Amino acid sequence: MRLALILLLALTLGSASRAQSGAVLGGALPGPLPLFPRTNWWNTDVSRAPLEPNGQRFINWIQVSGRRSLHPDYGGDSGESPPNGIIYGMPFIVVPGTQPLVPVQFYYDGESDHGAPGRPPGYPIPSEAKTQQRWIEGGLAGGGADGDRHMLIVDRDHRILFELYATYWNATAGRWEAGSGAIYPLDTNLRRPDGWTSADAAGLAILPGLVRYDEVYGPDPIRHALRFTTRSTNGYVYPASHNASSTALAPPMGARLRLKAAKNLSGYDPAVRKIFQAMKTYGLILADNGSDMYVTGTNDARWDMDLMNTAFRSLYADDFEVVALGWKPANAAEAAWAGYP
């Protein structure tokens, strides 16, 4: 009986909680994976990309107070209660194409998308998110009042990604509100206009850069770059479109770090080795201000965070090198080894 209860709890808090509306927390993403075309910046092989001259200055800035280890910014329940966040990592939601679209009022209205191309305006937000926990980053029902409160939604039938920042259900006004919102058709490489934010400070999509449980423990390698943060930034470079600060010597939004090829991964658990190999092949993309060398992943009760925390602490910022700022394949030869068709 005790084992049955534990299994039931894991299913309830795990990566596939289904709402009455048909929305699924941590549901199966529509293929082909990774998200977005192979030519997308998230999916570009940078293992042979040129390095930034004097890129070590960014590593030195990160490590100004000594060697800085990596941290896996994901997990399951935090053990805290409201008004603090109750979960680690970012949840994501998969909805059917029939999910009703609802309007969202934005603080950064001029840099926000109000509807997907060719579709009616609105975002497919499940009504359960108003009153149930774990649908929005931080885990609080309705989003709460603090934190980034990202909400990531995939319409699996229309193949569209919807992302919101500072999401909040205003019960008094009877409406959803957010700081900003961005919408991405999954079959395109649409980039935000220069100067525009998204649901992320760098103007990038969030979901394609997360470490996800299903891919870490699936049969295939991770074939995309990973999202990470530093305590501040200085402007932006491609593929980012937006800056959030101008701190001298800090790296810009959109900068890529690449785990050095010489780093020996043979002693790591296979799941960890898969994550670290992605850091060698696709790198880390700087997407927001936060804590130094925090690598973002999904909220999932199945993560073994003792394993992840121990492994990540063994990697340091100086195990990485900086890819040439704004790099992208410039010719057919580069495109071929960078995974382009």
Whether 264 shows a pLDDT value over 60: the answer reads yes
Q: Residue 16: its pLDDT value, please?
A: 60
Q: Regarding predicted confidence, which is higher, 340 or 53?
A: 53
pTM of the model: 0.94
User: Which of 15-19, 205-209, 266-270 comes out lowest in average pLDDT?
Assistant: 15-19
Q: Residue 241: what residue type?
A: S
At 10, is the pLDDT very low, low, confident or very high (cuts 50, 70, 90)?
A: very low
Q: Which two tokens stand for residue 51?
A: 């390095």
pLDDT value at position 8?
Answer: 38
Peptide bond into 185 cis (omega under 30): no
| 329: pLDDT strictly greater than 60 | yes
Q: pLDDT (tens digit, 9 = 90+) per residue, 51-102?
A: 999 999 999 999 998 999 999 999 999 988 888 789 999 999 999 999 999 9
Res. 6 pLDDT band, cuts 50 70 90: very low
Summarised one tens digit per residue, pLDDT across range 108-128 is 999 999 999 999 999 999 999
Which range is least confidently modeled, 16-20, 25-29, 54-58, 106-110? 16-20
User: Tokens at residue 199, please?
Assistant: 């649901």
Model pLDDT, residue 4: 41
Tell me the average pLDDT of the chain. 94
Residue 238's Cβ-count burial label (10 Å; 0-12, 13-18, 19+) is middle
**pLDDT tens per residue, range 299-325:** 999 999 999 999 999 999 999 999 999
Q: Which two tokens stand for residue 286?
A: 């700087």
